[in-house]
Amino acid sequence: MGRDERPKIRHDTAGLTPPVATRRHPAFATTKDSILPKVPSRDPQRKRDDITVPRGELLGTIDGDLINQPPSGPVWEGPQVGTLIGNAYRVVGPLGQGGMGVVVLALDERLERDVAIKLIRPAFTRSESARERFLIEARAMARVRHENVVEIYSFGELDDTPYFVMEYVPGTNVANWLDDAILEDRLPSIDEALGYLDQMARGVTAIHASGTVHGDLKPSNLLIGPASRIAIADMGLSRLFDPTGQPGEHPMAGTPAYMAPEFARTDLSPQLVQRADVYALGVIAYEMLTGHPPFDIETTTDMLLVHGGAQAPLPSELRPDLTTAFDAPLLRAIHFDPRKRTPSADAFRRSLLEARESLTSNHNALRILVADDDADFLALASEALAYGFPGAQIEVVPDGAAALKACDREPASLAVIDLDMPGLNGVELTAALRANYSLPIVVVTASGGAPDWHLLSALGADGFLVKPIDPFALIALARKALDTKGALATKSSKGRQ
């Protein structure tokens, strides 16, 4: 497809052409294209996806409920710095805000850890609908315990203002990560993007397994924390999934660019409701891998036109090194008909991994070290890594001391280590390896949590996995760690020239 050629449109709405992404990312400009200005596909200064539209506005009606109306008067940024909430949480400052609430950073003075606290704006405290929706969000978060979903700690009220306390994930989010790449006129590598997407899909799978639909997946709700950990946040539009319910009992709202076409249907089978999250995941994956969203949607009108009928460009046309292997998985995930869409987040995750396996690479120069006192894990990890990195030399050792000796004998390209080992544990081994070598380090654990991730990240670990692991998750994270470390080394080398 040429730069100025538009993909074929199956049909349109009222004679208008749906807005479809057509231009290759500047990083993939051909020789002919390179004489043209390299214009990013998006203006990074524009809020790409922060506006969540209530269902009433999407359907062209306003039900009069206060929750669907913008707050009036001065903007409230939350409790003042120094305020003590719940006799335990001292407010440090604002973190962010949305239409209905604000999020502040606070210090848990009892447990000596940072937390994030979300509170309803005063303008909404008298609205029963707003308070109920806020409680639904807190309950939805409490039902999910997964390393790729933000954890909730407690719920309470401050001067009649409901709040809930949740895990604080320092770092950035996928929206900023993508915008940074565009500003630098580059695309994330395939393995870096797939490493994040694998975690996103796992988090969504856990949300669905808890009986919940997220309802507002988008890049700004996907946090990137220490050691490249993805944590799904903001479940303000989540709702219980009831497969026994009647069609039309699952109203949709959300962000236009990531909202599934069936949002306005009243005949949708309850069994298909969770596939709206799959659609959002597909749009996010398309954008992460190609540098473009499948459709240029900025307004509700754009969304309705697109959903009236448009065909996204083949991902391989926007980014040739994806090859055609990724075309079917990405396009099926964003299929307009939920019955023909990828059936689950986990199925989508596996389809991306299968597409990646079709891209052959020579790993003969790689040496991977695996350290764990669990013989079963050593066998599983070595088999998975041998499959994911054909030709790589893989050495397994039973403890941290043996791992150090192995590295001293011959430096490794990657270390996969257990957190709990006799003698030299994962924390000590991470510190020792980082002090002497620049190799990427992936830590696996059966019981680690956010404090362990933060500590290990500070020591220099590059990724985490919680046992029992999926072999493909280990492969995806190992590839991402190797790719990211290599990219940083290249960038550093260029900087010194």
How confident is the model over 207-230, as a mean pLDDT?
91
**pLDDT recorded at residue 248:** 44
* pLDDT the model gives residue 56: 39
pLDDT value for 33: 31
Neighbours of 132 (CB within 10 A): 12
Segment 129-145 mean pLDDT: 90
- pLDDT at residue number 218: 94
Closest of 262, 258, 278, 261 to residue 270, by C-alpha: 262
pLDDT per position as a tens digit, 383-405: 999 988 888 999 999 999 999 99
For 367-496, CATH number out of 3.40.50.2300, 3.30.70.360, 3.40.1190.20, 3.40.190.10 equals 3.40.50.2300
Q: DSSP strand E in 100-237: where? A: 101-108, 113-120, 152-158, 161-167, 172-173, 212-213, 222-224, 230-232
Q: If you average pLDDT over residues 150-177, what whole number do you get?
A: 93
pLDDT tens track for 428-479 = 999 999 888 889 999 998 876 677 777 888 888 888 888 888 888 888 889 8
Give the mean model confidence (pLDDT) for residues 78-98.
Answer: 92
pLDDT band at 18 (very low <50, low <70, confident <90, very high): very low
Q: Can you give the pLDDT at residue 110? A: 94
Least confident of 18-22, 132-136, 193-197, 441-445: 18-22
- The CATH number that domain 26-52+171-357 falls under is 1.10.510.10
Show the tokens assigned to 475.
Answer: 């492969």
Contact between 480 and 228 (Cβ < 8 Å):
yes
**Partners of 445 in beta bridges:** 466
Quick check: 61 pLDDT over 70?
Answer: no
* Selected catalytic residue, list 216, 277, 462, 483: 216
Specify the pLDDT at position 253.
63
* pLDDT at residue 36 is higher than 50: no
Beta bridge partners of 414: 368
- pLDDT higher than 50, residue 60: no
**Residues ≥6 apart with Cβ < 8 Å to 93:** 81, 104, 105
How high is the pLDDT of residue 215?
Answer: 87
**Out of 178-187, 250-259, 282-291, 421-430, least confident range:** 250-259
367-496 has the same fold as 76-167: no
What confidence tens digit (pLDDT) does each residue in 106-133 have? 999 999 999 999 999 888 888 888 888 8
CATH class of the domain at 76-167? alpha beta
Whole-number average pLDDT of the chain: 79
| DSSP H or E segment with residue 214 | none
User: Higher model confidence: residue 129 or residue 245?
Assistant: 129
pLDDT at 476 (0 to 100) = 85
Q: DSSP letters along 287-324, please? A: HHHHSS-SB---SHHHHHHHHTS--PPPHHHH-GGG-G
Active-site residue flag, 216: yes
| Residue 411 confidence (pLDDT) above 60 | yes
**Percent share of the chain, pLDDT over 70:** 77
Comparing 496 with 158, the larger pLDDT belongs to 158
Task: With a cut of 60, say whether residue 28 has pLDDT above it.
Answer: no
Residue, of 78 and 90, whose pLDDT is higher: 90
- Of 82, 92, 150, 159, residue with least CA distance to 119: 159
**Please, which residues bridge with residue 117 across strands?**
104, 165
CB 75 within 8 A of CB 54: no
Residue 150: pLDDT band with limits 50, 70, 90? very high
How far is Cα 461 from Cα 466, in angstroms, rounded to an integer? 14
Q: What is the pTM of this model?
A: 0.74
**Residue 245, pLDDT above cutoff 60:** no
In this predicted structure, the answer to whether residue 23 has a pLDDT above a threshold of 80 is no
pLDDT value of residue 300: 73
Residues 345-366 have pLDDT tens digits of: 999 999 999 998 888 666 678 8
* Model confidence band, residue 410 (pLDDT cutoffs 50, 70, 90): very high
Q: What is the pLDDT of residue 365?
A: 80
Domain ranges of the chain: 26-52+171-357, 76-167, 367-496
